Structure 1
Amino acid sequence: MNRKYMALALAAALTLPAAAARADNEPSPRIIVTGEGEASVAPDLALLSLSVMREAKTAREALDANNDAMAAVIAAMKSSGVADRDLQTAGIQIQPRYNYTNKPDGSQDAELVAYQVINTLSVRVRDIAKTGEILDKAVSLGVNQGGGITFTNEKPEGVISEARKLAVADAIAKAKVLADAAGVKVGKVLEITDQSYAPPPMPMQAKSFDRAAGAAPVEAGENAYRVQVNVTFELKN
């Protein structure tokens, strides 16, 4: 065999393994599907935001009056079974209040009328059935602002895990429908990405509690936790 044919044979021998290697490195057909899952659970924790606002001629007088009122509210919270760890001061504001009058030249006179002091207390109520009673007691003792209530779960990991399972099952079902429509089959799972879940509780079916006379009516409902996952599947002919 002359040198020309030997060179051609050698080039062919090198080309075939290289082509095979490129074929092996080509990604297999795949499909990416987003699955969604939702699971619900009754809340076991109520978060209250309670504010006391007092006004006086001087900042000192306003602060003293506010301190007395808030001290009574905190004592009432503790007597209702709220632990020290579930009481937290969220902020104290001291601000002047002015009375504005218009002058003939179009300007305004600002007269200092009083000082306002606002003290905000965050309360975690672990016995949800007492939420209305605690809120009513707080208002009776001086809370005159706030009153925001959020129902949540202290440890939502279990219900979130259930939502994740439902999300993966939803992705598998969607992938099978799409594959059937395309005339192919779903193969093994190549990748799963947990996109997100929604920790903020979402009220669903309402649940009423028996309440003491005069207590604010409070309904806790259920919290829904939503999860999304991206799942990559291999496709087979």
Structure 2
Amino acid sequence: MRNKADRLQHTMRVEGTARIKIMPDLAVINVGIMTENEQVNAAQQENAVRSNQVIQTLKNAGISDNDIQTISYTVQPKYDYVEGASVFKGYRVEHILEVTIRDIQKIGEVYDAAVSSGANVISSLQFKLSNEDVYYKKALQLALENAKEKAKALGQQMGTAVLPIPINIKEEGSPVLFQAKAAPFMAQEQAATPIQRREVEIEAKIAATFQY
């Protein structure tokens, strides 16, 4: 029969996972300005004018400079294919802005303002959390409870008692935020675009080692 010291030398490693659902308080949208012209300089100049208009309109809507960021700027030649041959048609310039909206009730207004001032590409919508770390810490606590429940259940299955305090805890990966996203689409002018919030989920995973 094993003594107590022998029993404490046995360990098991289990994983714990938890997800928390929260209503988001931030929205991030990508709005783009796409222009085309046979001359690259003309396409770039038109794009610059329209981009400045969109940026100024966003500022007028209450979006700060820090919440308007360029995430891509591309210049590409355009070709049509006629009877197997490529025919040069000019240039396409695309400027994509990432816009963070802190007043989530204004998502539709910001969309409409951007489109009315010259944006013609909407590539994504993401809901996020300004205080993600607070919820992630709570999810970590729940993940640990999940691991404890698993260890206890395994101990019962084996007919032995598992000590409730783990001797080692390891965080598995980074916080995972499951976000509601809108599919990419070309923007069209319309009034009062309706945007409905959806819950986001934050996930935490840990690995814990228990003695038995």
TM over 0.5: yes
Aligned to 1:46: 27
> Could you tell me how far 1:32 is from its partner in structure 2?
1.5
Question: For structure 1, which runs of at least 5 residues remain unmatched after alignment?
Answer: 1-23, 204-212
Q: Equivalences for 1:54-65 in 2 at 5 Å?
A: 54-65=35-46
> Could you tell me how far 1:234 is from its partner in structure 2?
0.8
Q: Give me the identity figure in percent.
A: 28
Task: Indicate the structure (1 or 2) with the bigger Cα radius of gyration.
Answer: 1
Does structure 1 retain, via aligned residues, the 8 Å contact 2:54–2:114? yes
SS in 1 for 2:196: coil
C-alpha spacing 1:197/1:222, structure 2 compared with 1 (3 Å): farther
Matches of 1:27 and 1:176 in 2, distance apart?
15
Q: CA RMSD in A?
A: 2.2
Does structure 2 retain, via aligned residues, the 8 Å contact 1:40–1:159? no
> Could you tell me how far 1:33 is from its partner in structure 2?
1.5
**Matching of residue 193 in structure 1 with residue 170 in structure 2:** yes
Matches of 1:66 and 1:31 in 2, distance apart?
61
Matches of 1:149 and 1:81 in 2, distance apart?
18
C-alpha spacing 1:48/1:133, structure 2 compared with 1 (3 Å): same
Q: Deviations over 1:25-69 (max 9, x none)?
A: 997112212111112222121111111111112111111111111
Does structure 1 retain, via aligned residues, the 8 Å contact 2:177–2:203? no
Q: Deviations over 1:81-107 (max 9, x none)?
A: 0000111111221122123322xxxx6
Aligned to 1:231: 208
C-alpha spacing 1:65/1:77, structure 2 compared with 1 (3 Å): same
Matches of 1:162 and 1:100 in 2, distance apart?
56
Greater displacement, 124-133 / 175-184: 175-184
Aligned to 1:136: 112
C-alpha spacing 1:54/1:216, structure 2 compared with 1 (3 Å): same
Number of aligned pairs? 199
Does structure 2 retain, via aligned residues, the 8 Å contact 1:135–1:147? no
Matches of 1:54 and 1:202 in 2, distance apart?
30
SS in 1 for 2:167: strand
Q: Which has the higher contact order (CA 8 A, sep 6+)?
A: 2
**Matching of residue 222 in structure 1 with residue 203 in structure 2:** no
SS in 2 for 1:154: coil
Question: For structure 2, which runs of at least 5 residues remain unmatched after alignment?
Answer: 181-189
Matches of 2:138 and 2:157 in 1, distance apart?
29
Using structure 1 for the length normalisation, give the TM-score.
0.77
Matches of 2:22 and 2:126 in 1, distance apart?
15
Instruction: Point out the structure with the larger helix share.
Output: 1
